[in-house]
Amino acid sequence: MKPKKPNIVMFVADDHESCAMNWAGCSEVRTPTLDRIARGGSVFTRAYHNGGYDDAVCIPARASLFTGMYNHMALAGGRDVINPERVTLTEHFKNAGYHSYMVGKWHNDLKSLHRSFSDGEAIFAGGMHDHYSTPVRPFDPSGEFPESDITVSDTYSVDLFCNTAVDFIENYQQNQPFFLYTAFTAPHDPRTPPKEFLDHYPPQTVRVPNNYADEHPFDLDVRDIRDECLAPYPRTPERIQEELAAYYGMIESMDSGIARVLAALEARGELDNTIIVYTGDHGLAVGQHGLLGKQNVYEHSARVPLLLSGPGVPKGEAYEALAYTWDSFPTLCELSGIDIPDGLHAQSLVPILKDPAQTNRDHICTHYMGYHRMVTEDRWKLIFTNVHGKPHQQLFDLLEDPDETENLIDSPEHQKHLKRLLAKMKASPEGLPRPSKDPCYATS
């Protein structure tokens, strides 16, 4: 008899900065469940999203997560359309005999939703909404997804999605393993956590970030984007404390909901045979560098949580190897004994789990809208920005300056790092637009 394949439960947060967890060093925010996953599994502390040509960064980020491809090949034929020639993560597992179940946010096209899942409930097909009036629909086997199926729930979004995930686990009767995908709309704004969580964070007690600024030192062409309109300029420390207090309340509420899902797995005797993944679409600034949103390539916005636990995953390990969040696609395949699709840009993290000395890549590239680009190695990072014909270069030593506050671009002793990183940036990931067509390289 073949051993039973593991179930998979994947949680995807919306706007979760990778350091905004207690285990990651943010002692203010309460995340006992995420801390438990981290202690009982493995964490990739240098996981990034790939960026995208859209101010709604989550659209290309989620397309890459689901295809294991750079965003320019993950999307095709429209702003949110996942490339129909690429098999998606849950579609691949469905084809391999898994029951794939969708709960929560889906910010890509409905045809891709239909082919990716066997079933689902409480599906929010959109980008953002009030957390207490979320329009949701059931999975439609026909693929039509009529508007008439939409109902508006007054249940807080985290509770709505976690209640649905718990119901699925408690009532699952099929013999095949399941892939439960639960995507939150938290901690995305509007930051309105239930009072029981918000009360844990009196704004006056919240620490202002080390890299706080009242506004960004030069034009990033994001000032009028919705995220940046949530607070007036100049950003005061007091306003940032208020934003962070609500943000932490949202994160804690999500952590509490995840705890209930894990408890349901344990009650069914399935927890030990389930791979847990916690990740997100991108990070968020929330007051760092004078910014509120994710439309930039600083660490707070480009890095994403990536936590794994369960069968085949070492316990209590943290890896600094450079990774993309969409490396989870081939990683889950390998951990589950399923063939990895051909042609993925993503690379399995299993060799690193087995040997921490292993690495898959020596640098990471990401971008926003073409005119913000960054390349980072283990220590050194270059950001190239060209807005309205005004180029800016920033060189950071992430070992000595993890908050990215000291620009070393004019330091003679560091020019060798600049040249090396710029060469890697110009080479660009496979298939990305060539430098001659990218405004970031217009004057380089």
CATH code of the domain covering residue 390 = 3.30.1120.10
Over residues 386-405, the mean pLDDT reads 96
Token pair of 220, please? 């990033």
In this prediction, residue 434 has a pLDDT band, given cuts at 50, 70 and 90, of very low
Looking at the structure, do residues 155 and 281 belong to the same domain, yes or no? Answer: yes
Please state, in angstroms and rounded to a whole number, the distance separating the CA atoms of residues 64 and 314. Answer: 26
Looking at the structure, do residues 376 and 339 belong to the same domain, yes or no? Answer: no
The per-residue pLDDT for range 359-376, each reduced to its tens digit, is: 999 999 999 988 899 999
DSSP one-letter string for 56-74: STHHHHHHHHHHTS-HHHH
In this prediction, residue 444 has a pLDDT band, given cuts at 50, 70 and 90, of very low
Looking at the structure, do residues 97 and 192 belong to the same domain, yes or no? Answer: yes
**Is residue 105 domain-resident?**
yes
Does residue 436 register a pLDDT over 50?
Answer: no
Strand partners, 211: none
The per-residue pLDDT for range 251-304, each reduced to its tens digit, is: 999 999 999 999 999 999 999 999 999 999 999 999 999 999 999 999 999 999
Please state, in angstroms and rounded to a whole number, the distance separating the CA atoms of residues 47 and 322. Answer: 6
Does residue 392 register a pLDDT over 70?
Answer: yes
| Residue 334 belongs to domain spanning | 7-354
**Contact in structure between 268 and 1 (CB atoms under 8 Å):** no
160 three-state secondary structure? helix
The per-residue pLDDT for range 118-171, each reduced to its tens digit, is: 999 999 998 889 999 999 999 999 999 999 999 999 999 999 999 999 999 999
Please say which residue of 324, 354, 384 terminates a domain.
354
Question: Picking from 97-101, 126-130, 343-347, 403-407, which range would have the lowest pLDDT averaged per residue?
Answer: 126-130
Question: Picking from 7-11, 207-211, 296-300, 438-442, which range would have the lowest pLDDT averaged per residue?
Answer: 438-442
In this prediction, residue 2 has a pLDDT band, given cuts at 50, 70 and 90, of low
Over residues 21-43, the mean pLDDT reads 97
Domain count within the chain: 2
| CB half-sphere exposure, 245, CA atoms < 13 A | 17
**Is residue 198 domain-resident?**
yes
Listed ranges 65-79, 253-267, 421-435; the one with the highest mean pLDDT = 253-267
**Is residue 141 domain-resident?**
yes
Looking at the structure, do residues 120 and 235 belong to the same domain, yes or no? Answer: yes
**Contact in structure between 120 and 141 (CB atoms under 8 Å):** no
| CB half-sphere exposure, 63, CA atoms < 13 A | 32
Looking at the structure, do residues 336 and 380 belong to the same domain, yes or no? Answer: no
What is the model's pLDDT at position 55?
81
Which residues have CB under 8 Å from 218's CB, separation 6+? 385, 390, 392
Looking at the structure, do residues 245 and 167 belong to the same domain, yes or no? Answer: yes
**Is residue 174 domain-resident?**
yes
- Domain CATH for 207: 3.40.720.10
Please state, in angstroms and rounded to a whole number, the distance separating the CA atoms of residues 367 and 386. Answer: 12
Looking at the structure, do residues 343 and 394 belong to the same domain, yes or no? Answer: no
Phi–psi pair at 105, nearest 5 degrees: -75, 130
**Is residue 407 domain-resident?**
yes
Please state, in angstroms and rounded to a whole number, the distance separating the CA atoms of residues 110 and 105. Answer: 12
Which residues have CB under 8 Å from 36's CB, separation 6+? 262
**Is residue 361 domain-resident?**
no
Looking at the structure, do residues 50 and 178 belong to the same domain, yes or no? Answer: yes
The counts of H helices and E strands in the chain are 12, 17
Q: Which of 5, 185, 11 is nearest to 99 (CA)?
A: 5
Looking at the structure, do residues 347 and 417 belong to the same domain, yes or no? Answer: no
Q: Which amino acid is at 45?
A: T
Looking at the structure, do residues 347 and 382 belong to the same domain, yes or no? Answer: no
Please say which residue of 329, 354, 379 terminates a domain.
354
**Is residue 360 domain-resident?**
no
Looking at the structure, do residues 318 and 386 belong to the same domain, yes or no? Answer: no
CA 432 to chain CA centroid, Å, is 21
| CB half-sphere exposure, 175, CA atoms < 13 A | 1
Looking at the structure, do residues 242 and 273 belong to the same domain, yes or no? Answer: yes
Please say which residue of 296, 324, 354 terminates a domain.
354
Token pair of 439, please? 């405004």
**Is residue 362 domain-resident?**
no
Does residue 194 register a pLDDT over 90?
Answer: yes
